[in-house]
Amino acid sequence: MKPDKVLSMLGIAKKAGSLKSGTFQVEEAVKSGTAYLVIGAMDGSDRRKKDIQNMCSFYETEYFFYGTKEELGKCIGKEYTALVAITDEKLAHSITDKIDIKSFR
C-alpha cells in the first residue's frame, strides 16, 4: 500500500505539537483563530459535517473531509478521531498543497 501523504503530514503535525484533535479542542482552536486547517473524517455523521462546514465558514478557516475516523486516529496515535485541526500555517499549507480540497468537501 502506498503511503498517504496527507495522513503522514498529520503525524508530523502531531509530533511538532501543531495538531488539535477531538471536537472540543478543534472548536476552541477555530474560534480562537489558531487553526489554519480543519480535517474531518469522511465517515462522520452528516450533522457533524454540516456543523464543521458552518463553523469553518463563519470563522474563515480552511477545511475538508478526508479518510476515515480510524485512519485519522491511527496517524496521530489514537484508536480513532473524527476531527483534527492544524495550528501551524506552513504545515497547513503543505497539507493543502498535496490534494485538491474542492474534491473533498
* Helix or strand run (H / E) with residue 62: strand 62-65
Identity at 65, one-letter amino acid code: F
pLDDT digits (tens, 9 = 90+) for 89-100: 999 999 998 877
Task: Report the CATH number at residue 44.
Answer: 3.30.1330.30
The pLDDT > 70 percentage for the chain reads: 93
pTM value is 0.92
Which structural domain range is residue 52 located in? 5-100
* Beta-bridge partners for 40: 65, 83
Residue 16 lies in a domain: yes
Query: Residue 84: which residues within 8 A CB-CB, separation 6 or more?
Result: 10, 19, 20, 21, 26, 38, 39, 72, 76
pLDDT digits (tens, 9 = 90+) for 61-104: 999 999 999 999 999 999 999 999 999 999 999 999 887 766 67
Q: Residue 98: what pLDDT?
A: 82
Distance between start and end Cα atoms, the chain:
25
Residue 105 lies in a domain: no
Q: Are 66 and 8 in contact (CB under 8 A)?
A: no
Residue 65 lies in a domain: yes
